[in-house]
Structure 1
Amino acid sequence: MLFKSALISPSELQEALIQDGTIILLDCTIDKVGQSLKDAKLELLPNSLFFDIEGKFSDQASKLPHTLVSEGVFEKEVQALGIDQKSTVVLYDRWGIYSSPRAWWMFKVMGLDQVYILNGGVPAWKKNKYKLAGSYRQQGKTGNFKAHFQKNLYADKDYILAHYRAADVTIFDARSKGRFSGLVPEPRKGLNGGHIPHSKNLPFEELLEDIYYKQADELEQQFDQFKTVDHEYVFSCGSGITAAILAFASYISGHTNIRVYDGSWSEWGREELNLPIEK
């Protein structure tokens, strides 16, 4: 089962679900900084499973939030969701577009090809008046997915140190302009203000229209304004979540030479690391 784009509409998904009952639906919702859905009524696409970004799919031994787990852990947890190597997986979140792109990047960096995002998530599904569920389905069989780490999609601190001055690499920061400039304090303690030297500020909200991604040509224009078309793009943010919103936007607008800096500012901004910073 293949869709025309990695970003799919509710109507496209509804039609595909009628034709193919093997599509795996994953709710990838996490809390936003200062906002939570924990007390909200649970509204899901029917037959969904939960993709636990902050729990099972984050390295709990790391001092940093949302650190990518190892190949082995990812493989085991994805198999437990019943996902096979050739499965078609559709990701969504209950905000609209927020954490589902992070899950998309995680799947891509671990080698799953057929992974898609529902544009607008649950709010868009509701607008179309499609059926909702109030609970997750029970996990079934164990899948046969095998993780194969794609290092060309991944950046760590050492990669940034080696490439932040490179003429053919552009680092995009998805945080707000205030945080990027160091004028607004970071929400996490122990972090300096500012940004990685030579990086460009593209706040993730500028790629969204309400709960949806903007059209692909509009997204392309957002990146083209920086005149870096032939560059490798590396995406950073506060903790690796909204960086993936930019990474996916780049991907669907045709620029696929991308990496996500997993540690992002939660790592780079740490006072004790004393890394290069601009304001």
Structure 2
Amino acid sequence: MEGLLILIGVYVLDIVIKKVAAGKKKQQDQHREIPPDDEFDNEQQEEQTSHTKPRSLQDLIRQFEEAQRENSGGTYVPPSPEVEDDEEDVGLPVVTPAKPGEYTFSEIAESVVQWEYVSVELLQEAFGFSERIAQQVLAELQAKRIVGRDMGDGDCDLLVHDKVELDNHFKRLQREAEEQQAAAAQEASLQERREAELKHQKELAELEERARQLREQAGQGTSPDMNEAIGEPCLASADNHVHTRNLDKFEIRRGFIWAKVLDEPRFKKRWSARAR
């Protein structure tokens, strides 16, 4: 396609040049008469020129510009090619928000991934944010690993480059958040179980200590106080030879204490016959 356009341009330029030369020749003929020999020589030169090799495109363009300059009295200026401005603003495509004037984080991210780079100034320009809000949005984009760190001049590279990649990135972030929540819940449950186990062990230790104290008290039955409380045994009568013994208050109280200890559910569960 480009080759065809070049050939057409060369052909048009050649025609224009010939027309300009013919017009110039006609003007010269009007002012003076050309001798026949000179006219014949000019015709031969024109025939030789028509049979010569086609000139290059640059020569034709240069000749066309010179002809235009002569016709315009020296005021013709050839058009210069347009030079792109390096500081031209980057196009900022922005998605249409669901609520006018209110952008969600996903809508901002979907817009940002279409840019070349991200900065606080571009966020302010695209969404109308204040500088503080734009800085917060940029920090959130960096925390979500959508935008990279500052490269030193205030501009940040993109880590996600299209909407499909952005959707997959959001799904991965959601899955990671759910896994973290599940791990935190499991850790909390394990901590509660540890605390309950420690509390249970502490209660068992207290019960064992109480039982040990009661056993020690029961083993001190030969103390003077206990002997005084027991009293003298009954003497056997001469008639029936039956030995009897009176129960004192200490033995009765000790029996009640043991009965109360053994009737406690926790102590009873630990010291049941099945456990033994």
Query: Shorter-chain-normalised TM-score: which range?
Result: under 0.3
Greater percentage in helix:
2
Larger radius of gyration: 2
TM (norm. structure 2) is: 0.17
TM (norm. structure 1) is: 0.17
Higher RCO (C-alpha under 8 Å, 6+ residues apart): 1
Greater percentage in strand:
1
